[in-house]
Amino acid sequence: MARGRFITLEGPEGAGKSTHLALLAERLRTAGVPVRTTREPGGTRLGERVRALLQYDAAGEAPTPRAELLLFLASRAQLIDTVIRPALDRGEWVLSDRFCDSTFAYQGYGRGMPLDALIALNAFATDRLTPDLTLLLDLPRAESVARVEHRQGPADRFERERDAFHLRVAAGFRELARREERFRVIDSSGTPEATAEAVWQAVRPFLDIH
Backbone φ, ψ for residue 7 (5° rounding): -120, 130
Q: What is the pLDDT of residue 182?
A: 98
What is the C-alpha to C-alpha distance for residues 205 and 200, in angstroms, rounded to an integer?
9
What is the C-alpha to C-alpha distance for residues 210 and 162, in angstroms, rounded to an integer?
45
41 preceded by a cis bond (ω within 30 of 0): yes
Rounded to an integer, the average pLDDT of 88-104 is 98
What is the C-alpha to C-alpha distance for residues 67 and 48, in angstroms, rounded to an integer?
16
SS3 content of the chain, % helix, strand, coil (to 5): 55, 10, 35
Walk me through the domains of the chain, giving residue ranges and CATH numbers.
Answer: 6-206 (3.40.50.300)
List, in order, residues 6 or more apart from 127 with CB less than 8 Å away: 80
210 pLDDT band, cuts 50/70/90, is very low
Q: 60-69, 143-152, 184-193, 195-204 — which is least confidently predicted?
A: 143-152
**3-class DSSP state for residue 13?**
coil
pTM of the model: 0.94
29 pLDDT band, cuts 50/70/90, is very high
